[in-house]
Amino acid sequence: MRIEAVQGDITRQQVDVIVNAANSSLLGGGGVDGAIHAAAGPGLLEACRALRADRLPAGLAPGRSVATPAFDLPARWVVHTVGPNWHAGERDAPMLAACFLSSLEIAVHLGARSIAFPAVSAGAYGWDVGDVADIALHAVRAWQQGTAADDGGVELVRFVLFSPAALAAFDAQLSRCPG
């Protein structure tokens, strides 16, 4: 499995799955969540409303993930995950790691070969991007070690970062623990 970090727009990624740093309502918001909802078109909001009505009436808990079709995005699926909110006192690193792990598990279940993540919780939720990079990359590496190399699953994990500072944090962490 290849792990890489790039600066760019996650809504333009040519991958099987893009991960949405969603809020628990799944009904859109700002930042990555708003950009993904805008780029995917109204079908994404309808799919999220259906999830809320059927499977998730109380919303999605932090650390959990759920998939929808990607609609107008170049990806096939969107995996929505809710990161912990530092500003709300949610400062549990394992909960943040669970966002990445549960998203990868769903991607495998969908038959995805490639997945693109944002820096979950590093935006409006207030986590330090260096901490997010450390937790995310350790989680992905641990997941990689726990899966068989020839399982036919995810071949590419791409972290798509909006800013040069976020990219630098992920690049620094990648250089500390190369694949």
Q: Average pLDDT, stretch 18-46? A: 96
Percentage of the chain exceeding pLDDT 70: 96
Kindly give, in sequence order, each residue whose CB lies less than 8 Å from that of residue 121, ignoring residues fewer than 6 positions away. Answer: 21, 83, 84, 85, 86, 96, 99, 127, 132
The yes-or-no verdict on residue 149 having pLDDT over 60 is no
Burial of 121 (0-12, 13-18, 19+ CB in 10 A): buried
CA-CA distance, 108 to 90, in Å (whole number)? Answer: 28
Phi first, then psi, for residue 4 (nearest 5°) are -140, 160
61 vs 149 pLDDT, higher one: 61
Catalytic residue among 9, 16, 33, 72: 33
The yes-or-no verdict on residue 103 having pLDDT over 80 is yes
* Domain segments of the chain as ranges: 2-176
CATH topology of domain 2-176: Leucine Aminopeptidase, subunit E; domain 1 (3.40.220)
108, two tokens: 């495998």
CA neighbor of 64 nearest in space, from 120, 118, 110 = 120
- Annotated catalytic, 54? no
pTM (2 d.p.)? 0.95
Name the band, by pLDDT with cuts 50, 70 and 90, for residue 152: low
